[in-house]
Amino acid sequence: MTSRLTPKARPAIRLAALALLSAAAAAAHGQQNPANQAGQPAQPRQAAYHDRAALKRTVEEFLQVQTGGLPGQVTVAVGAIDPRMSLAPCPAPQAFFMPGARAWGKTTVGVRCATPSAWTVYIQASVTVIGEYVASAAPLAQGQAIDAGQLVMLKGDLTMLPAGIATDISQVVGRSSNSSLPPGTPMRIDTLRTKPVVQSGQLVRLVSSGSGFSVSAEARAMGTAGDGQVVQVKTSGGQQITGIAKAGGLVEVAF
């Protein structure tokens, strides 16, 4: 038997079909996005990246360890990390120095990840060391023996000064400068000469001692040397020996 729908029934059937399709679509969408089931709006899924704050802490902690033995007050500042940089999560990032780099002044620290994803980044940082250093308190003449009254202790950022700056007056007293210096000049140890205790051509006493023996002989210095410096001497028999110059015209030799 064939039944025909009246024109008045057709709109009602069409509306019912649309309602069923809408309900099915809503159910399917709710299964794919559980947030909708809880009545919360769907959030876009975001990729997981390594925390930049954690990356900065890794660099800070590394530099704090590296600067543990420095004199003075140490301050570590890590530079800005590019917000566009995307790194995979890393449970154990490792900081390191490139060859030649050190925890002093402006520097660069590398951070690497081995697993689960391998990556390496380089981050700028700076290390400030505020401490005391030795400077000239009065004009110093070239070759003049320096005494404590001609020196003063100043305070500043040691990383901004030349390498080898003296930080204790005892490192300078008794030495002489290779050039004339005005007041306020930081004292560099590598530009100071030790007062000679042995002069070239001087007769010296060559001494040596060991387990159960001690010997000495006269010799002539073949060079000028300060206390603790290496000098060559020639014995009366013409033998050349190298020793360590000591105060009082002595040269120590180890056998």
How is 146-206 classified by DSSP, letter by letter? P-GGGEEEEEEEGGGSPTTB--SGGGTTTEEESS-B-TT-B-BGGGEEEPEEE-TT-EEEE
- Checking if the pLDDT of 51 tops 90, the result is no
Last residue of a domain, one of 160, 176, 194: 194
Last residue of a domain, one of 152, 178, 194: 194
- What is the rounded average pLDDT of the residues 161-174? 92
CA 217 to centroid of chain Cα atoms: 50
Mark whether 208 and 164 lie in a shared domain: no
Residue at 65: amino acid letter: V
Q: How far is CA 34 from CA 23, 24, 27, 47, 215, in A?
A: 16, 16, 11, 19, 94
Pairing type for strands 105-113 and 119-136 reads antiparallel
**30 vs 166, which has greater pLDDT?**
166
- Checking if the pLDDT of 100 tops 60, the result is yes
Three-class secondary structure of residue 210 per DSSP:
strand
- Checking if the pLDDT of 66 tops 90, the result is yes
Mark whether 147 and 168 lie in a shared domain: yes
Residue range(s) defining the domain that contains residue 163? 130-194
User: Lowest mean pLDDT: which of 10-14, 103-107, 164-168, 190-194?
Assistant: 10-14
Query: What is the token pair recorded at 226?
Result: 């300060």
Pairing type for strands 225-226 and 196-198 reads antiparallel
| Tally of residues, the chain | 255
Last residue of a domain, one of 169, 194, 219: 194
Work out the pLDDT band at 12, boundaries 50, 70, 90.
Answer: low
Mark whether 141 and 116 lie in a shared domain: no
- Residue 226 located in a structural domain: yes
For the segment 195-207, what is each residue's pLDDT rounded down to a tens digit? 788 999 999 999 9
CATH classification of the domain holding 212: 2.30.30.760
Mark whether 56 and 124 lie in a shared domain: yes
For the segment 119-159, what is each residue's pLDDT rounded down to a tens digit? 999 999 999 999 999 999 999 999 888 999 999 999 999 99
Average pLDDT, the chain: 83
Cα–Cα distance for residue pair 6/205, rounded to 1 Å: 136
